[in-house]
Amino acid sequence: MIEAWVIGTLARTLAYGTPLLLGTLGEIYSERSGVVNLGVEGMMIMGAISAFATAFTTGNPWLGILVAAIAGGLAALVHAFASITLRANQVVSGLALTMLGLGLSGLFGKGFEGKPLDSTISNVTVPLLKDIPYLGKILFIDQNPIVYISIVLTPILSYILFKTSIGITIRSVGENPAAADSAGINVWKVRYACVLLGGVLAGIAGGYLSIAYRPAWTQGMTGGMGWLVIALTIFASWKPGRGLVGAYIFGALIHLSYRLQPFVAPQLLKMMPYAFAILALVALAIGPGKQKSEEPNSLMEPYVRGEK
């Protein structure tokens, strides 16, 4: 009984945690290069509507995911242009991007409200692997391919960030852009690339929501997930592996908030994931200094050559 309970919860955790994980991985890269992007919610929902619209009109859900990635990337470029090239305030630009995304997607999505989608990315069961005790039931029965993509992506992005010269380049741009610049690194290019990657992953996360997780378009359907991503990025200390852990903790809490309703008041449960986010951030802020030092030093600071 308990066993089935835990397995069921963990399987749902993966399904709900996936868009959070994808968004967090992207935001980690963006922030590692020194650019905070508060537009995750906007990029995600742009991804969601473009994926749905594409899959609906072409009948090809994977093409939908591709278009979602492009849409997320284009939205991110708006932020990159404002915050890197024009050196605008990153917070303001990101917030504007979120509002823009929510508004535009609502407008474009009007014709797609209430339409069923026949071509979705449906869940799969992996033969052989499904027979692994416990793990098989959690991971390999009735899970979505995009869940696997996000899991595979995590160690790869972690490896690139910490074990390769590309990663060193990105991190040095985020830590000390002036030093990186004098070492011959093109700070703007690196930042553009990282912000772009963040947008692409957020777009895919949105696409997952509208054509895999729950195949339909509803205005505002990301429901604040983009904001959880911002909190998760800090919670993860800008490390992809910890991002995965954090995303799954959130996924579990959100699923549990319905599972535990017979025992705990629903209103309290609904607060749980957000209360956890606040507590986690407070703990990080007042805890040992180790985590704080992970924060990229020049986060939120536009780079101007020749100053400082």
Partner 1 sequence: MKRFIVFTLVLLVGLGFMFNVGLAADGDKLKAGFIYVGPVGDYGYSQGHDEGRKYAEEIFPWLETFYVENVFPPDVESTIDKFVRNKDADVVFTTSYGHMDPTIKAAKKYPDTVFFHCSGFKRAPNVGTYFSGLYQTYYLTGLMAGALTETDKLGYVGAFPTPEVKRHINAFAIGLKEANPDATLLVRWLNAWVDPSGAKEATEALIEEGVDGFAFTEDTPTVLQTAQENGAFSFSHYNPMYRFAEDAAVSGQISNWGVIYADILYKVYYGVYTSENLENVDYWWLMKEDSAVLGAKRDMMINPEYVDQLKSTTITDPLLGELSVYDLIMKRREQMKADRVTFDPFIGPMKDRQDIQRLKDGEWASHDELWTIQWAYENVKGPWPDEPTE
Where on the chain is the footprint of partner 1 (CB under 8 A)? Answer: 4-5, 8-9, 12, 15-16, 106-107, 109-111, 113-114, 116, 123, 209, 213-216, 218-221, 223, 225, 254-255, 257-259, 261-262, 265-267, 270
In the bound state with partner 1, the residue whose beta carbon lies nearer, of 17 and 199, is 17
Closest approach of partner 1 to the CB of residue 4, in Å? 8
In the bound state with partner 1, the residue whose beta carbon lies nearer, of 184 and 262, is 262
Q: Given CA atoms 148, 210, 10, 241 in this order, what sign does their dihedral have?
A: positive
For 282, how many CA atoms within 13 A lie in the half-sphere containing its CB?
6
Q: DSSP 3-state assignment of 77?
A: helix
Residue 244 sits at the vertex; the CA angle it makes with 240 and 245, to the nearest 5 degrees, is 120
Is 235:284 a contact under the CB 8 Å cutoff? yes
In the bound state with partner 1, the residue whose beta carbon lies nearer, of 149 and 260, is 260
In the bound state with partner 1, the residue whose beta carbon lies nearer, of 110 and 292, is 110
Separation between Cα atoms, residue 139 and residue 132, nearest integer Å:
10
In the bound state with partner 1, the residue whose beta carbon lies nearer, of 16 and 235, is 16
Closest approach of partner 1 to the CB of residue 195, in Å? 26
In the bound state with partner 1, the residue whose beta carbon lies nearer, of 261 and 297, is 261
Q: Which of 35, 33, 109, 36 is nearest to 71 (CA)?
A: 109
Closest approach of partner 1 to the CB of residue 215, in Å? 7
Buried b (16+ CB within 10 A) or exposed e, 133-161: eeebbbbbbebbebbbebbebbeebbeeb
Q: Which of 111, 87, 99 is nearest to 38 (CA)?
A: 99
Closest approach of partner 1 to the CB of residue 59, in Å? 16
In the bound state with partner 1, the residue whose beta carbon lies nearer, of 6 and 282, is 6
Q: What is the 3-state secondary structure (H, E, C) of 131-198?
A: HCCCHHHHHCCCECHHHHHHHHHHHHHHHHHHHCHHHHHHHHHHHCHHHHHHCCCCHHHHHHHHHHHH
Closest approach of partner 1 to the CB of residue 90, in Å? 25
In the bound state with partner 1, the residue whose beta carbon lies nearer, of 107 and 282, is 107
User: Long-range contacts for 178-186 (Cβ within 8 Å, ≥24 apart)?
Assistant: 178/303, 178/305, 178/307, 178/308, 181/303, 181/305
Number of neighbouring beta carbons within 10 Å of residue 74: 16
Closest approach of partner 1 to the CB of residue 144, in Å? 11
